[in-house]
Amino acid sequence: DFQMALNEVHPAFGVSEEELEQVIQNGIIHYDAVIEEILKTGQLFVEQVRTSTRTPLVSILLHGPSGSGKTALAAYMAQASEYPFIKLISPDFMLGYGEPQKISAITKVFTDSYKSPLSVIVLDNIERLIEWTPMGARFSNGVLQTLLVLLKRRPPKGRRLLVIATSSLRPILTDLGLSDTFDSELRVPPITDLVSLEYVLQEVQLFNSDQERHRAIRMLQDAGFTANKNDYDSKLQIGIKKLLSMIEMARQEPENVAERLTTALMGLGM
């Protein structure tokens, strides 16, 4: 069930619950086994931080193309940890901050976390935090350096911290000097096969009947999309986030839902 994920989680005191829920507003849909794997690996790290005394700091990176669900998955893992300290660092809360303000806001969350025996920090959207733009390869070196230090600085004795970062900058991590920073990296892929797509369509009840949904899928097959996700020629390449947005758009024209969806998905490749 598509709302199930959230309800299973009961975060403890001192947690920025509202902010986390905001980013998983549309729930986690299990359209593919990879989602389960990612969540399970996250759980393992949560356990490692809780139990191993030799690794008081563990940092992992969720990376993948735009809209593939990184933020939602990171927030979900954080909530599921049930640690007493759970915080989201997001560019959304730092609009208009100058570089020094950003640096001190980010640093403060880490310093605060050192007061709790067990903490998890979601460091969302590294590219936006460092104000990255491909044009001229510009970014805030000050924020980047702060992250480079914070992601390696051990918490004080007796404190443990898990950092879950998200980014779509994987291709240039090395150039930014971030390649050796994380203990582990997990890829969050886009949807590339019709089986996953159909699963999503069903979950969000875009169509009133199975029949209509099947018809839409056939229409997509006719348009050249393939069911097999290992097919490297697959024309389908869409993040769950954009897919959900397209579905709502299509919903506006009840008489033409399948056509509009097909057109929208085909428009992506261009």
Ligand X SMILES: Nc1ncnc2c1ncn2[C@@H]1O[C@H](COP(=O)(O)OP(=O)(O)OP(=O)(O)O)[C@@H](O)[C@H]1O
Burial level of 98, CB count in 10 A (0-12/13-18/19+)?
Answer: exposed
Among 71, 146, 192, 262, binds ligand X (CB under 6 A): 71
Choices 9-17, 97-105, 191-199, 236-244 (CB under 6 A): range interacting with ligand X = 236-244
Nearest to 219 by CA among 191, 258, 265, 256: 258
Q: CB of residue 31 vs ligand X: minimum separation in angstroms?
A: 6
b/e burial code for range 184-202 (CB count within 10 A of at least 16 → b)? ebbebbbbbbbebbbbbbe
- Taking the complex as a whole, the smallest distance from the CB of residue 72 to ligand X amounts, in Å, to 3
CB of 88 to Mg ion, least distance (A): 11
Q: Name the strand (E) or helix (H) holding 78.
A: helix 70-81
69: buried, middle or exposed (CB in 10 Å: 19+, 13-18, 0-12)? Answer: buried
Residue from the set 103, 178, 206, 240 that interacts with ligand X by CB under 6 A: 240
Per-residue tokens: 98:
């100058």
Taking the complex as a whole, the smallest distance from the CB of residue 41 to ligand X amounts, in Å, to: 14
Binding track over 96-125 against ligand X, x by CB under 6 A: -----------------------------x
Asked if 71 touches Mg ion (CB under 5 A), the answer is: yes
* Cβ count within 10 A of residue 221: 12
Considering CB under 5 A, how many residues would be counted as binding Mg ion?
A: 2
**Cβ distance to Mg ion smaller for residue 165 or 201:** 165
Using CB under 6 A, which residues numbered 33 to 62 contact ligand X? 35
